[in-house]
Amino acid sequence: MGQAIAARMAEQPDMQLAGIWTRDADLDPLLEGSDVLIDFSLPSGTEAVLDAVIRQQQPLVCGVSGLSEAQMQKLELAAAEVPLVYDRNMSLGVAVLERAVRDAAAALGADFKVVIAETHHIHKKDAPSGTALKLGEAIASARGDLDNGAIHYEVERVGEVPGDHEVVFQSSNERLSFAHSVTNRDVFADGALLAARWVTGRKPGLYRMSDVLIGEEQR
């Protein structure tokens, strides 16, 4: 993702790449010459990133999935000090999809069974995907089912598929489905750059892509 973000940033007249961090380097000098940091590393790298943005009081856009509960708590603590956009999927379409399935879940209630199906490339390690879990959490929250136990996940790993997700609500006599497909990974880079523009100058807090795109309240 780092190369994709750098390539897309090179096409933006209002943005300039200050540098790319590798985990064996000192991050602080890079942050001193930057306005915002974008993190698509790994969970272990994100811990170092969070420490650095707190030290430098730097805004952060983070798209790392697979964070542990302890790492999420650390991220939330960082968001109390700096403006931080965190999302497991930076696509604009998924932000709209999350809102749509949340509204559907609230309207339809628990009588509708929910299946979330996702397909990704064979190299993806986490299953279900972070996006599938994100959609499931939105549905569970809207229905008051905080344990997320009534949602069934279907996972498939095929070829080099960038990411397909479908959410199906089904009762005994009707079926409602929502779907989103990614054609290439530039969509995540574009979303991250949009979030980087948006978060600069914000007050400290934990934000999502839905905040960036739709303007929901800070969490």
Contact 45, 38 (CB under 8 A): no
Contact 75, 47 (CB under 8 A): no
Catalytic residue IDs: 120, 124
For residue 67, give the nearest of 93, 39, 95, 99 by alpha carbon.
Answer: 39
- Residue 10 dihedral angles phi and psi, to the nearest 5°: -65, -20
Alpha-carbon gap, residue 141 to 92, rounded angstroms = 21
Contact 11, 36 (CB under 8 A): no
For residue 179, give the nearest of 131, 219, 146, 121 by alpha carbon.
Answer: 131
Q: What is the DSSP string of 37-92?
A: EEE-S-HHHHHHHHHHHHHHT--EEE------HHHHHHHHHHHTTSEEEE-S---H
Structure tokens at 146: 């905080």
Alpha-carbon gap, residue 122 to 88, rounded angstroms = 18
Residues forming beta bridges with residue 168, ordered by sequence position: 115, 177
